[in-house]
Amino acid sequence: MKKRLTIQQKRNERNGFLFALPWIIGFIGFSVYPLIASLYYSFTEFNPVMAPKWVGVENYRNVFDDPLVVKALSNTLFMVLVSTPVNLIAALLLAMVVTRNFKGRGLTRTIFFLPSVIPMVAATMVWIWMFDPTYGYINHFLSLFGMEGPSWLMDPRFTKWALLLMGTWSTGTTMLVCMNALQDVPQSYYESAEIDGANAIQRFFHITVPGIAHVLVYQAVLNMINAFQYFQQVYVIISASSGGGSNAGVASGGPANSILMYPLYLFHTAFTYFDMGKASAMAWLLFIVVSILTFVMTKATKRITENAGVE
For residue range 37-83, list pLDDT tens digits in order.
Answer: 999 999 999 888 888 899 999 999 999 999 999 999 999 999 999 99
pTM score: 0.84
Q: How far apart are CA 79 and CA 228, in angstroms?
A: 8
User: How crowded is the C-beta side of 81, counted as CA atoms within 13 Å?
Assistant: 6
Task: Check whether 181 has a pLDDT greater than 70.
Answer: yes
- DSSP 3-state of 234: helix
Kind and range of the H or E element at 46?
strand 44-47
Residue 242: what pLDDT? 65
| pLDDT band at 311; cut points 50, 70, 90 | very low
Residue 245: what pLDDT? 45
Asked if 242 and 252 count as a contact pair (C-beta separation under 8 A), the reply is yes
Q: How far apart are CA 246 and CA 193, in angstroms?
A: 59
Who wins on pLDDT, 306 or 87?
87
Residue 304: what pLDDT? 62
Who wins on pLDDT, 5 or 242?
5
pLDDT (tens digit per residue) in 209-266: 888 888 888 898 899 999 999 999 999 999 887 655 455 445 678 888 999 999 999 9
Q: What 8-state DSSP symbol labels residue 79?
A: I
Residue 60: what pLDDT? 95
Residue 243: what pLDDT? 56
Shortest CA distance to 128 belongs to which of 152, 157, 164? 152
Residue 7: what pLDDT? 81
Residue 58: what pLDDT? 94
Residue 244: what pLDDT? 52
